[in-house]
Amino acid sequence: MSSVIWYIYEFARKKWIKRFLDAKTDPEIAESPSRFRDFPQVQKELCISCGACVASCPSPGAIKLVRDDEMEMAYPVINESACIRCGFCVEVCPTEPKTLKTGENYLIKEEYRILPQETLYVIDDYLCIRCEKCIDACKVGAISSKDNIITIDQSKCVSCGDCIKTCPIKGAIKEVFITNIDEQKEIINLLVKSLEEAINLEVERVRKLPDYDPEKLIKLEFPLSKIMERALEILPDEEKVTKIVENITDRLKINVITWDEEKCKGCRLCIDECPTGALTYNEEKGVTERDPDKCLRCSICYQTCPFGVPGLYTARFLLRDGRILITLKPSQIRG
């Protein structure tokens, strides 16, 4: 009997009765909680069309960039039937605040961009005028100024190209290809060699003209099509080759040494001065000859020669409409 009473007492606990009467469905059964990672919501106006979300998506066909002609930009569109709600696209979204939103993933900030890119944007400190327009233009805050030197943080950059569009100096921000390094080297060598050949030929011609003024600038043109065929054999991508050539010509400065054998008196003063042995005395002709392959363009011979046999010119370049414009300036160093 006592055990029965004990059982009744045990089962009639106040707490238990209260729980039984208050029983209700867990609200999370019917409604998904706010932390639930649902299909991502897209806010078009924040998007910078970088494509990081598409690159991060593990499910084929779940997300793609759709072009909107009205807003003149592309934004991600999520195909719900293929989306697996992993939230990767939200995690990698570099905008602030995030374009895509789901669950609590928008709180996560990726430290490194995951976007696979062919190009790297770098600021050329030599040409930069520190106008800081690019800092305002950058949508992901990758550009910063420290000690009056403006740099691009490569881990944040999404290669959108907005900084180049705002930069007032041509060539101060460069779009550099990080692939095909060896091919790029070959193209640059080819370009510099053929430019120098063209300049040498032209200078010889210009100097013989009757109205030649040694103080005057010489302006030449070099059509890019001359080397394009050979460059395309090295790297079969015309757009890339043009870009590489443009990057190089913005900064390129060539010292050109011309050699006028007719003026040479055979004094041989220059031969001992030449650091590489590029100058040799030809006894048959009685003149000194120059080997352009060995020459360093150091201009020591130009400074040594009392007869003006070597000529020194500084050449600068500008790529425009498929032609390289060459400006040749006679050197300021007096011979």
Interface residue list for other proteins (CB under 8 A): 26, 29-32, 36, 39, 58-62, 79-86
Say if residues 309 and 299 touch (Cβ distance below 8 Å): no
Task: Tell me, rounded to whole angstroms, the distance of Cα 101 from its chain centroid.
Answer: 30
As measured in angstroms, the least distance from the Cβ of 88 to other proteins is 12
Q: How far is the CB of 103 from other proteins (least distance, A)?
A: 13
Distance in Å, CB of 30 to other proteins, minimum: 6
Burial of residue 262, with CB atoms counted within 10 A of its CB: 0-12 exposed, 13-18 middle, 19 or more buried: exposed
Compare residues 59 and 276 and give the one whose CB is closer to other proteins.
Answer: 59
Size (the chain), residues: 335
**Based on CB atoms, which residue is closest to other proteins, 84 or 149?**
84
Q: What's the CA angle centered on 71, arms 70 and 73, to 5 degrees?
A: 115
Which residue type is seen at 66?
V
We find the least distance from the C-beta atom of residue 27 to other proteins, in angstroms, to be: 11
Other CB atoms within 10 A of residue 70 CB: 5
Considering beta carbons, is residue 17 or 84 the nearer one to other proteins? 84
Closest CB to other proteins among residues 36, 212: 36
Of the pair 5, 30, the CB lying nearest other proteins is at 30
Tell me if 297 sits within 8 A of 256, measured CB to CB. yes
> How far, in Å, CA of 170 to CA of 221, rounded?
19
Question: CB 92 → other proteins: shortest distance, Å?
Answer: 18
Q: Tokens 């779009």 — which residue?
A: 175
Q: What's the closest the beta carbon of residue 89 comes to other proteins, in angstroms?
A: 14
Choose between 37 and 323: whose C-beta lies nearer to other proteins. Answer: 37
Q: Which two tokens stand for residue 154?
A: 């490569």
